[in-house]
Chains A and B, each alone.
Chain A
């Protein structure tokens, strides 16, 4: 029983720590924002159809290793959705196994993108920094990782 409680506590403490791919559907964006309300979070959009994204993944792994305090969420936004196994394999190869991960799971990608940013036409990679007060900053293209670290240092205070 105590073991079960321990497992339960782990699960509550880190609901998304499992090396799993969660389906990103209508409403997920607001859910993620709600789940992370009040703390800074880095959301990175990537995809298998995007060569610059794949080239950049190992740098995200380095960032996570250097800054374990930073909450990073990876969202695969291929449309149509890429195969979950392929996405997980790619993340693992890049050193990103275990990162909280989502994948677009609705072929109506316009609607998913519209909920995130009505201006977003599907360019990737793309990174959104959400501050503790909910203020978003969008980085289009390859991420300026030193700038993200600097932002996080200020944001988490």
Chain B
């Protein structure tokens, strides 16, 4: 059953002004902004940062079908030449929440993941590439798994032990159910580990019936204890968020983050963000348009995800708040998100000095008047940075604060 509602006043105004205005359509099309056609960091639509153990910055980016890695020793002011990861321009997963992943693992190798769109139904295919030991070039990319069912929204996280944890949305059980003529809602949450010996060799399903079109939030509650937050599917087609803490690398119980009651037979294209503080508090942020609440929200859990605080509304709902990102670092928790007023996109940032109980007033940290990537937060020791790729300004790594 679809949700029907009448648009608000703003949309009605759009309609009436449309009838009044006499736009020349050809002129409009000519005025469309010129797009960036090069395979360069400046033209990247997605950029993912990673600070290595030596405090230098690595970024993985995608631009016009190419995936590349670049290194900076001065916090993103200058970069070495790009190392291309895929052999030529390819059809990458165009999902808004899809982005290349990068970590430098415990053995000092750069590990990159990216997702291709393959076949007539544009299924996802996750590719993995590793650098040489000296990090000067990359081995040819290989599929994450031999399984040919769709894999999308892969997320990497570096375990404190130096192993790489990967989790993604996988359709193998959907395909199996379809072959057995059984009903299967959504897709599944899959995971695998990698170190010098095992190269994501064993891929497993942690949870069936997840939403199939949103990014996944990953953090660590301790060595071999990844915590994963994703948009789950609850009975009746409700796409609310869930959290799972792996125990000794094995899937743990599933807890619901909040009862938003977002019943929707659709792709929200908006996944959550998760961070775990040094004291073990889970910090969660997400978007919903549910019956219980609508907009961006933050909640915290001090009991390993069993229960979360009452969701706190974030951002100005008249300005399309989207793409929340939460990061606990040192004695602070930071939260960034995007807002748009019809002309300009801004990244708002707020800070909590008491483990997410109270928050500062949001402050605009960056602006742009054209297309932009999701805002991401990253940290090098006590220094917290905003990582943001924008079409007009290119890639920027901006200092947000210092949280010793």
Residues of A within 8 A of B (CB): 23, 25-31, 33-34, 37, 47-54, 78-83, 86, 89-90, 93, 105-111, 113-119, 121-128, 130, 134-144, 147
Contact = CB atoms under 8 A, between A and B. Distances in A.
Nearest to A25: B32
Given A26-B28, A31-B25, A140 B8 contact: no
B311 interface: no
B45 A110 contact: no
Given A121-B289, A123-B269, A136-B7, 12 more contacts: A26-B31, A31-B18, A33-B18, A49-B122, A52-B265, A52-B267, A78-B94, A105-B32, A110-B340, A118-B8, A125-B267, A138-B4
A142 B2 contact: yes
Contacts of B371: 106-109
Contacts of B35: 107
B63 to A, nearest CB: 11
Given A33-B19, A119-B8, A28 B25 contact: yes
A121 B95 CA distance: 14
A130 to B, nearest CB: 8
Nearest to B322: A121
Contact of A118 (B93, B267, B318): B318
B213 interface: yes
Nearest to B268: A123
Contacts of B17: 30
A25 B5 CA distance: 25
A141 B2 CA distance: 6
A107 B275 CA distance: 29
Contacts of B33: 106-108
B31 to A, nearest CB: 7
Nearest to B342: A114
Contacts of A82: 94
A136 B32 CA distance: 26
A83 B343 CA distance: 26
Interface in B100-127: 117, 120-122
A110 B345 contact: yes
30 contacts: A27-B25, A31-B25, A33-B14, A37-B18, A37-B19, A50-B213, A50-B266, A51-B212, A51-B267, A52-B265, A93-B120, A105-B32, A106-B32, A107-B33, A107-B45, A108-B371, A113-B320, A114-B342, A115-B14, A118-B342, A123-B268, A123-B270, A127-B2, A138-B6, A140-B5, A140-B266, A141-B264, A142-B2, A142-B266, A144-B1
